[in-house]
Amino acid sequence: MRSGDAEVAIAEKCVALVGAPNSGKTTLYNWLTGSRFKTVNYPGATVEFSLGHLASHLGEGLQAMDTPGTYSLHPKSADEWVTLRSIYENPKVDKIDGIIVVVDGTQLSRHLQLVMQMKETGFPMLVVVTMSDLLRREGVDLDLAYLEKTFGCKVLAFDGLLAGGLLEIVAEAKKLGSSHKPSRPVPWGFAQQEEKLKECERIAQEALQHKTDHAQERLNRIVATTEKLDRVLLHPWFGILFFILIMGGLFASVFWLATPFMDLIDGWFTSFAETVAAWGPGALWADFLANGVVTSFAAFMVFVPQIFILFVAIGLLESTGYLARAATLIDRPFSALGMSGRSFVPLLSGFACAVPAIIATRNIPSTKDRLITAFVVPLMSCSARLPVYALCIAFLFHGQSALYAGLAMAGLYLGSIVVGAFAAGIISKFIPRTEPSFFMMELPIYRRPKLRVILRQAWTRTLSYVKRAGPIIFTFAVIIWVGTTFPNYQTEDAHQKLEESYVGRAGKFIEPVVQPMGVDWRVGVGLISAFAAREVFVSSMAVTFNITDTDEDSQQQALLTQMSTATNAAGEKIFTVSSVIGLMIFFLIALQCMSTVGVQIRESGSWKFAMMQLVVFNVAAYVLVVVVVQSLRFLGVP
């Protein structure tokens, strides 16, 4: 009987990738599994382990697991604990058959410490040396055979740019496995640690010098450009100046670069809404599709280019290596607020989305620093706020130079940092420090970013964002349209129909609460709907203000026109400079994302902490808006 006559299930082995932050571990994982996970240059980027099958062209029979970066098997932070538990107590796999220890070839002596610790556990292992392209370019030829003999395992080189050596790594990884149960790592004492570090240094020098003349000089050349750049970008004064310019340019470009693409999308949705409305003139179903569904999605989708550009900009900072420098620069001012430079990366991630940013606080060893950072993260202006900001700024600077709009956008992001710093300064007074805090970060080499990879990652993240927001937008489009159309859907007068609708009645019930903010019940409905997702505010406004004016150039133009002419029951304009500034301040501070609250409960392990944050942020936002709006009006600002 031929074995091929029957389908035979191939038992899959599982290998874990373990390595220091920035060692190229996630890059190898992406090549092995064909994934598009983020590969970045700062510690703790991978805060959860990831499990994936081999990419189809690499065969089958092997699972790879990416773990958070760690310098040691003796964990000091939450993400390092994740690494240890994922290889010893992983609930997703029966056992880990072997370990691929990933070491940076340009930082060999420091990274070999992890290889030594792994060897002591008895895990079957394979060592992969990354950055081989940089070593090859400078003529550095590592003695891999010597390393194999020293550590008693296979050692292979890997080129993360072109995947050189990938097939050999897969072939060797499939051979890993043993019936022997590995032991737990035993922490080294101080004297033993010193001895091991010296031994790592000796082994690294041997491996470098056996086949390469003047190896250290060649290694120095690899970092020469980085050192020159760091003399400027980490300078006590020029470094801060460049930091402000880079961050200001990043956030301002989100508005400037996106405008042409936003106009294209806006025009397309306008034409599509008119087409849909023409399918059934006067019919309720056509009105629902055109002015409910299409209008809601148009109000949201028009801001997608800005979100995409934000992700690209953050990806550029990550891939060039500047992000770790920014964290170093910001450490001293952050320490005055009870945080450290490690807090910078979670806070910057908060500008994309607060949920992964709060999870990223696991790489902060100090409990106090971690709690303060997690408390402040929701104050960073996440991408969900972007549509609201863009609409408000477009209203305030309508018809004026894009420069003003860009500066206003940068000012809002800067404002969220200032508010976050203020909040951190306050909360740090109430959280006692139970252990010493220190900041230590390995600065990666500056590298030219791969634009194709960055664009692909930005696209994936933008698509994920749209997919997550899409069902919520659709649900609320239905609710808001039904609420604004019924029960008197046959009423000819649009204003009367809206006032007598379900939404109108509910809005008027809450109107006394939102009136001090300078807005009426229609905006109040939008604010409440934003607690499901902030993006819903814009689409709710589009439906609530009944964008049906087909004579206008576009949906966005129609909404801006409606905003400029909308009046309350007393005949006063609703959207003025003061009330729109108030709206931006409200969205700057208020915590309206229930997903953020959920992950905060999980990460902090405290309902009390999360609920306190929810109440404090929203009450503070409301009180501050009322004070600002009423003060501006007292000073004569409309």
- For the chain, give the percent of residues with pLDDT over 70: 86
Q: Which of 453, 478, 469 is nearest to 304 (CA)?
A: 469
pLDDT digits (tens, 9 = 90+) for 121-163: 999 999 999 988 888 888 888 999 999 999 999 999 998 877 8
Phi, psi of 101 (to 5 degrees): -90, 120
More confident residue, 51 or 255: 51
Q: How many Å separate Cα 227 from the centre of its chain?
A: 29
- pLDDT at site 400: 75
Q: Tell me: pLDDT of 112 over 90.
A: yes
The strand pair at 62-66 and 50-53 is best described as antiparallel
Q: Tell me: pLDDT of 396 over 80.
A: yes
Q: Tell me: pLDDT of 450 over 70.
A: yes
- pLDDT at site 449: 78
Q: Are 28 and 54 in contact (CB under 8 A)?
A: no
pLDDT digits (tens, 9 = 90+) for 262-314: 778 877 887 888 888 888 777 888 888 877 778 777 766 776 787 788 778 87
Element (H, E) at 127: strand 125-130
- pLDDT at site 118: 92
More confident residue, 49 or 412: 412
The mean pLDDT of 4-10, rounded to a whole number, is: 43
Q: Specify the length of the chain in residues.
A: 638
- pLDDT at site 41: 34
- pLDDT at site 171: 93
Q: What is the number of other CB atoms lying within 10 angstroms of the CB of residue 468?
A: 15
More confident residue, 424 or 556: 424
Residue 182: which pLDDT band, with cuts at 50, 70 and 90? confident
pLDDT digits (tens, 9 = 90+) for 25-78: 888 888 888 765 543 334 334 446 677 888 888 888 888 888 888 888 887 766
Residue the block writes with tokens 């080129």: 159
pLDDT digits (tens, 9 = 90+) for 13-32: 899 999 987 788 888 888 88
Residue 120: which pLDDT band, with cuts at 50, 70 and 90? very high
Q: Tell me: pLDDT of 103 over 90.
A: yes
Between CA 130 and CA 331 the distance in angstroms is: 29
Between CA 368 and CA 361 the distance in angstroms is: 11
Integer angstrom CA distances of residue 374 from 95, 369, 432, 470: 33, 9, 16, 27
Q: Tell me: pLDDT of 547 over 60.
A: no
Q: Tell me: pLDDT of 628 over 80.
A: yes
Phi, psi of 185 (to 5 degrees): -65, 140
* Most confident of the following: 70-79, 228-237, 426-435: 228-237
Q: Are 568 and 524 in contact (CB under 8 A)?
A: no
Residues with Cβ within 8 Å of residue 468, at least 6 apart in sequence: none
What DSSP state is assigned to residue 42?
A: S
- pLDDT at site 46: 46
- pLDDT at site 255: 64
- pLDDT at site 144: 93
- Domains in the chain, start-ordered, CATH in brackets? 13-230 (3.40.50.300), 236-384+446-464 (no CATH), 468-635 (no CATH)
- pLDDT at site 554: 59
DSSP string, 223-273: HHHHHHHHHHHTSTTHHHHHHHHHHHHHHHHHHHTTHHHHHHHHHHHHHHH
The mean pLDDT of 455-483, rounded to a whole number, is: 73
**Alpha-carbon dihedral angle through residues 381, 384, 386, 392, given to the nearest 10 degrees:** -100
Residue 493: which pLDDT band, with cuts at 50, 70 and 90? low
Between CA 450 and CA 387 the distance in angstroms is: 29
Q: Are 338 and 369 in contact (CB under 8 A)?
A: yes
Between CA 248 and CA 246 the distance in angstroms is: 6
Q: Tell me: pLDDT of 3 over 50.
A: no
User: Using alpha carbons only, how large is the chain's radius of gyration in Å?
Assistant: 28
pLDDT digits (tens, 9 = 90+) for 495-536: 666 677 787 787 778 888 888 998 888 888 778 777 766 766
More confident residue, 473 or 2: 473
> What does pLDDT average to over the chain?
80
- pLDDT at site 203: 94
Q: Are 208 and 219 in contact (CB under 8 A)?
A: yes
Between CA 373 and CA 581 the distance in angstroms is: 27
Residue 439: which pLDDT band, with cuts at 50, 70 and 90? low
**Alpha-carbon dihedral angle through residues 14, 59, 147, 108, given to the nearest 10 degrees:** -80
Q: Which of 82-96, 245-259, 576-590, 606-620 has the lowest mean pLDDT?
A: 245-259
3-state secondary structure of 197: helix
